[in-house]
């Protein structure tokens, strides 16, 4: 039976993952069968089972299914366990093995492609869902300073702070606290609020002298937050396209045993004239 790969999400038609993985396949000489599958949360488990029965050997998982994917795995990597979310599935016999490549993808993009030194940066993480959970452990491992998590639902921020298990270093706060938190050296938007026109009001007082602002989305979805960041005087602004490419390369390596070069496809995507809608 042929091996199939896919990205699951809702919505997912916008996803650049099929294009990226097909490009990786051409580069490495590996025949890749990779498609986007749109599925709502309630049908995800059955759809994933059907996919496996048709020869599904691996999958990426995007919004809003990353925590649901974690629950469907029989075993997970340490970084997925810390995140409580899975973005990469590997079929292991009759079960799924879960990994999370988001964090390592983000850190590699920020440090290697954009030349940012993350060490000791006082960091604000906006959001506490699957995307935030995927990157928070890697940011801590990269040596950032104190991490403040704010979320529209305070309980989710508290839960993520507890899961990271770094007392004294990780702090959960409410959105209403933003004006009192002082300046940050790194601000990461891990929400999808911009897609719904619901980006929270962010005070300029959050921006430190050499602050870097990062949106985990790309294309249109990243515009509102990054526009605010530029207007507020952020020294660096970065969208999530590079992270998308880097996390995809990590997934590709898990499935095929070789890590592709990423700069070529990243450059191609940057040069595309089409509007990029949102991030995986």
Q: What is the CATH number of the domain that holds 24?
A: 3.40.50.10860
Q: Which of 66, 91, 97, 133 is catalytic?
A: 66
Q: Please indicate, yes or no, if residue 197 is contained in any of the structural domains.
A: yes
Q: Please indicate, yes or no, if residue 179 is contained in any of the structural domains.
A: yes
Q: Please indicate, yes or no, if residue 279 is contained in any of the structural domains.
A: no
- Give me the pLDDT at residue 14, please: 86
Q: Are residues 55 and 108 in the same domain?
A: no
Q: Quick one: DSSP state of residue 55?
A: T
Q: Is 272 exposed, middle or buried (0-12, 13-18, 19+ CB in 10 A)?
A: exposed
Residue with tokens 């590699």: 108
- The answer, as to whether pTM is greater than 0.85, is yes
- Give me the pLDDT at residue 192, please: 78
Distance CA(249)–CA(68), nearest Å, equals: 23
Specify the CATH number for the domain of residue 136: 3.40.50.720
What does the pLDDT look like over 142-156, one tens digit per residue?
A: 999 999 999 989 999
- Give me the pLDDT at residue 195, please: 60
Which has the closest alpha carbon to 32: 41, 23, 44?
A: 23
Q: Please indicate, yes or no, if residue 158 is contained in any of the structural domains.
A: yes
Q: Are residues 114 and 231 in the same domain?
A: yes
Q: Are residues 263 and 161 in the same domain?
A: no
**C-beta separation of 175 from 122 below 8 A:** no
Distance CA(246)–CA(109), nearest Å, equals: 7
Q: Are residues 75 and 200 in the same domain?
A: no
How sure is the predictor about 259, in pLDDT bands with cuts at 50, 70 and 90? very high
Q: Please indicate, yes or no, if residue 162 is contained in any of the structural domains.
A: yes
Q: What is the mean pLDDT of residues 89-107?
A: 97
Q: Are residues 96 and 117 in the same domain?
A: no
The residue that leads in pLDDT, 10 or 14, is 10
Q: Please indicate, yes or no, if residue 276 is contained in any of the structural domains.
A: no
What does the pLDDT look like over 124-142, one tens digit per residue?
A: 999 999 999 999 999 999 9
Q: Quick one: DSSP state of residue 11?
A: S
Q: Are residues 129 and 81 in the same domain?
A: no
Distance CA(47)–CA(155), nearest Å, equals: 30
Which has the closest alpha carbon to 238: 260, 211, 263, 262?
A: 211
Q: What is the mean pLDDT of residues 217-226?
A: 92
pLDDT over 90 for what percent of the chain? 87
Q: Which domain holds residue 122?
A: 103-241
Q: Are residues 148 and 262 in the same domain?
A: no
Q: Are residues 27 and 144 in the same domain?
A: no
Mean pLDDT lowest among 142-156, 182-196, 226-240: 182-196
Distance CA(204)–CA(159), nearest Å, equals: 27
- Give me the pLDDT at residue 1, please: 58
**C-beta separation of 108 from 63 below 8 A:** no
Residue 252 has pLDDT above 80, yes or no: yes
- Give me the pLDDT at residue 199, please: 79
Residue 11 has pLDDT above 60, yes or no: yes
Q: What is the mean pLDDT of residues 78-98?
A: 95
Distance CA(56)–CA(70), nearest Å, equals: 17
Distance CA(245)–CA(19), nearest Å, equals: 10
Number of domains in the chain: 2
**C-beta separation of 206 from 234 below 8 A:** no
Q: Are residues 210 and 123 in the same domain?
A: yes
Q: What is the mean pLDDT of residues 149-167?
A: 93
Token output for 147: 């991490």
Residue 66: active-site member: yes
Q: Please indicate, yes or no, if residue 50 is contained in any of the structural domains.
A: yes
pLDDT over 70 for what percent of the chain? 94
Residue 58 has pLDDT above 80, yes or no: yes
Residue 2 has pLDDT above 80, yes or no: no
Q: Please indicate, yes or no, if residue 117 is contained in any of the structural domains.
A: yes
How sure is the predictor about 188, in pLDDT bands with cuts at 50, 70 and 90? very high
Q: Are residues 124 and 208 in the same domain?
A: yes
Q: Are residues 74 and 97 in the same domain?
A: yes
Q: Are residues 252 and 234 in the same domain?
A: no
Q: 124 has which bridge partners?
A: 148, 187
Distance CA(162)–CA(61), nearest Å, equals: 24
Residue 278 has pLDDT above 50, yes or no: no
């Amino acid at each position: 039976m042929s091996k199939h790969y896919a990205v699951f999400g809702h919505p997912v038609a916008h996803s650049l993952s099929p294009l990226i993985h097909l490009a990786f396949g051409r580069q490495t000489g590996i025949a890749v069968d990779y498609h986007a599958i749109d599925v709502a949360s309630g049908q995800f488990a059955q759809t994933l089972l059907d996919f496996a029965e048709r020869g599904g050997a691996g999958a990426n998982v995007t919004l809003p299914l990353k925590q649901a994917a974690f629950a469907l795995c029989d075993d997970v990597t340490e970084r997925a366990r810390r995140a409580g979310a899975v973005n990469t599935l590997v079929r292991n016999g009759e079960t799924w093995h879960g990994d999370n490549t988001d964090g390592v993808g983000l850190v590699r993009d920020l440090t290697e492609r954009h030349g940012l030194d993350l060490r000791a940066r006082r960091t604000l993480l906006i959001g506490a869902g699957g995307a935030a959970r995927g990157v928070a452990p890697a940011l801590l491992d990269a040596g950032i300073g104190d991490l403040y998590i704010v979320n529209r639902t305070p309980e989710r921020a508290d839960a993520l702070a507890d899961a990271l298990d770094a007392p004294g270093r990780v702090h959960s706060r409410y959105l209403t606290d933003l004006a009192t938190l002082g300046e940050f050296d790194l601000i990461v938007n891990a929400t999808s609020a911009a897609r719904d026109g619901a980006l929270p009001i962010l005070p300029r007082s959050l921006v430190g002298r050499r602050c870097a602002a990062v949106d985990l989305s790309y294309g249109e979805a990243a515009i509102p937050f990054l526009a605010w960041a530029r207007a507020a005087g952020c020294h660096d602004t970065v969208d999530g396209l590079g992270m998308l490419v880097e996390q995809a390369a990590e997934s590709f390596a898990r499935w095929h045993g070789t890590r592709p070069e990423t700069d070529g496809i990243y450059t191609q995507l940057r040069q595309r004239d089409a509007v990029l809608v949102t991030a995986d």
